[in-house]
Chain A
Amino acid sequence: MNYAISLTIEAEHDLARLPSAVRRFCGVQLRLLGDAPTVLSKPSRFPYREKCQMFQFGCLHANDRWELNALFQYSQDETTLVIIGIRFSKLPRGAESGEGFPQI
């Protein structure tokens, strides 16, 4: 089942803060998430009263490794993934666990 993707205002601001190339990459990845959320995400242990799911992905851009984290919930009617937030860590290349990140 494919899910539509929607973002809260907060998540929208997160997306806007990304450089355009990373933002486009993020959009592509979120659509992939919509195709297979159970495969690509896992329950987050973020300490908020409601359970959220975590989708972690990344890319190499300019001289950095971008590690992106999208927190989301399923909509009540189970048709949409509601993105709650998108945050990133920017780490120097060669740092751990950047293997397999695509260059954008």
Chain B
Amino acid sequence: MNIVLKNQVEASEKSAQELEEEISHAHGWALLCYNVQDLSRSAVNLLSEIGTDVDRWQRDLADNAQQDAQMDRLGSEWEALYRRLAGVFEKTAGLLHRLETEGFAIDGKPEFFAAWKELRGIVCFSVDGVAKSVEQAHRGQTRSLGEIELELRDLPDN
């Protein structure tokens, strides 16, 4: 795994934490806005960079038909890094909201929320769960949507 990315995520975590503390007794709003904007851009860029590395890793795995435990383990490391980045996104969203309630507009907000949505679509799954499910697909342990819907039709809500 790219150690630079790991360090960048760690720096973003620290920055988000510091800004959270700073905003609670804020005086220099303009500087805060600038820093939060910078943090949100960094978070978006980091997501893109991690995604590029994951793409490369998947291509490498596809090219090497042989199972490589060390290469495979990287999946869990990416997963952990995505989860840490999700924490940064969550804190940054809170900071953006706070600044908006103070009447400030932040550039790059749509890009930030689009990236956060994409990230939520990643961290809601686990590597182990997906691996299990893909194995089921490979073994043909699947059923049609229609068949499942018929069966679930009368299932009561919890």
Expressed in whole angstroms, the Cα–Cα distance for A89 and B120 within the complex equals 8
Q: Which of B74, B124, B137 has its CB near the most chain A CB atoms (within 10 A)? A: B137
B99-125 toward A: CB 8 Å interface, digit per residue (1/0)?
A: 000000000000001101110111011
Give the complex CA separation of A52 and B122 in angstroms: 11
Given A4-B144, A8-B142, A50-B58, verify A45-B50 contact (CB < 8 Å): yes
Give the docked Cα–Cα distance between A67 and B66 (Å). 37
**What sequence of 0s and 1s flags, for each residue 32-58 of chain A, a beta carbon within 8 Å of any chain B beta carbon?**
000000000000111111111010100
Band of interface residues on A: 35 or more
Size of B's binding interface in residues, CB under 8 A: 46
> From residue B84, how far is it (CB to closest CB) to chain A in Å?
13
Interchain CB contact under 8 A, B93 and A44: no
Chain B residues closer than 8 Å to A83, beta-carbon distance = 145
Which residues of chain A are within 8 angstroms of B144 by Cβ–Cβ distance?
A: 4-7
Q: Is B133 an interface residue, CB under 8 A from the partner?
A: yes
Please determine whether A20 and B148 come into contact, CB atoms closer than 8 angstroms.
no
Q: Is the CB of B54 within 8 A of A45?
A: yes
B-binding residues in A (CB < 8 A): 4-12, 15-16, 19-20, 23-24, 27, 30-31, 44-52, 54, 56, 67, 69, 71, 73, 82-85, 87-89, 96-97
